[in-house]
Amino acid sequence: MKQIAFLGCLILLLASTVFAQEKIEAPVWNVGDKWIFTSNGVIEVLGIDQDGYVVKFSDDIAVTERQGFDKVIFDKATMQRIYSLSARSFFLKGEKRNKYSAGLRNILNFPFTPGKQWENAYSAKPVISTLRHLPSLDYYEKFKILGWEEVGVQAGKFRALKIQCIRGHQAMPQAHIYAAEGKSFYWYSQDVKYFVKCEPDKAWIEQSKEIFNWELLSFQLKK
């Protein structure tokens, strides 16, 4: 009986150890950390303050990643986007921060564990449209961590968590806009402390897939 009880405790201990190993906490960024992607996309940590990490997006990073903002403030604990500074207000004195309420707000949502799921919802005008008269649409995003994969990009080979991202918006009949939904995948690497790759689902957005199709060229992590 004692042996059975011991085996039961051992199994629970092993299960807890495995779970702990699978739990990925938020990375620690430092000023000067930089990631360079295909299409001349650059993301760089400019500063750290009481709110979080001040991160600058280059003009050439995929439009869906920038969401129209020049700088974004990331929360230290979860790495969610909590404040934004639009490119148009870049030269305003004091660089006023606005609560982040756009897409990809919580695509980084630590801690990460395989199988974890979460969502985001917001209203905005389409960032990939040049038609200014379009009304704001109600968007939703659904994320799910599918598991670990070995992924090769131009920056090297990495063990990464594959994250499924489903984006869509509701219909707006009065503006003749129909509901739409698309799927893409992201790969997050602990070694890089950010995503190393994004890829669209092959059956979706073939004509504009380049905005969801990028990979890491190089990176630098300061100590």
Report CA 133 to chain centroid distance, whole Å.
28
Residue 2 in any domain: the answer is no
Percent of the chain with pLDDT over 70: 77
Q: How far apart are CA 110 and CA 91, in angstroms?
A: 32
Percent of the chain with pLDDT over 90: 54
Q: How far apart are CA 2 and CA 8, in angstroms?
A: 10
Residue 5 in any domain: the answer is no
Q: What is the pLDDT of residues 144-162, one digit of tens each?
A: 999 999 999 999 999 999 9
Instruction: Find the domain containing 60 and state its range.
Output: 26-220
Q: Give phi and psi for 139, each to the nearest 5.
A: -100, 160
What's the count of helices (H) and strands (E) in the chain, helices before strands? 2, 12
| Closest to 104 measured CA to CA, from 80, 134, 130, 127 | 80
Q: Can you read off the two tokens belonging to residue 97?
A: 């921060």
Residue 93 in any domain: the answer is yes
Q: Could you tell me the pLDDT band of residue 132, with boundaries at 50, 70 and 90?
A: low
26 contacts 52 by C-beta, under 8 angstroms:
no
Q: Give phi and psi for 200, each to the nearest 5.
A: -80, 155
Q: How far apart are CA 32 and CA 220, in angstroms?
A: 8
Q: What is the pLDDT of residues 59-116, one digit of tens each?
A: 877 777 888 888 999 999 999 999 998 655 444 456 788 999 999 999 999 999 999 9
Residue 147 in any domain: the answer is yes
* 156-169 sheet: strands from edge to edge: 98-99, 81-86, 69-74, 53-57, 41-48, 34-37, 214-220, 194-200, 180-189, 156-169, 137-153, 117-124
Residue 74 in any domain: the answer is yes
Q: How far apart are CA 143 and CA 162, in angstroms?
A: 10
Q: Scanning the structure block, which residue is given the tokens 């750290």?
A: 48
Higher pLDDT, 198 or 13: 198
Number of domains in the chain: 1
Residue 7 in any domain: the answer is no
Residue 55 in any domain: the answer is yes
Please report, for residues 78, 79, 103, the alpha-carbon distance to residue 25 in angstroms, rounded to integers and kept in the order given: 8, 10, 22
Residue 11 in any domain: the answer is no
